[in-house]
Structure 1
Amino acid sequence: MTDKLMAILALATMIVFLGVVAWFVPEIDLVLVIAFVSLLAIYDFWDSFRKRKPKTDA
């Protein structure tokens, strides 16, 4: 459970940081790259947690 919380916190921190950069440097190219990178990070986060299988004690 803590790994999910840490991943969510890291993703949120990255997106907030990149949002601040985009806010203070409003170049359209930079904003597009930041949006694309953020979408890729969100997709990777979603995909990695969706495919995770529960551990079984055997």
Structure 2
Amino acid sequence: MNRLAALIAFLVLAGFLVILAIEVPSLDLILVIVLTLGLAAYDFFGSTRKPRQ
């Protein structure tokens, strides 16, 4: 359940940032958006994986 909520939150963030990148097509902004999505994806996969035993 937590993984599903995190996935929905990530998709909402990604959707917002993609709309922003489409409406304001600046190279600098797109690079910041890609970096932001990369860090958010890293955090998503790092925090929702099963703990090691």
Answer whether TM exceeds 0.5 for this pair.
yes
Q: Which runs of 4+ in 1 moved over 6 A?
A: none
Residue segments in structure 1 that go unaligned for 5+ positions in a row: none
Describe the superposition over 1:1-58 as per-residue Cα deviations: whole angstroms up to 9, x where unpaired.
x2111100000000010000000000000000000000000001111122x438xxxx
Aligned partners of 2:2 and 2:48 also within 8 Å: no
The count of corresponding residues between Structure 1 and Structure 2 is: 52
Normalization by structure 2: what TM-score?
Answer: 0.89
Select the structure with the greater relative contact order (CA < 8 A; seq sep ≥ 6): 2
Q: CA RMSD in A?
A: 1.4
Partner SS for 2:3: helix
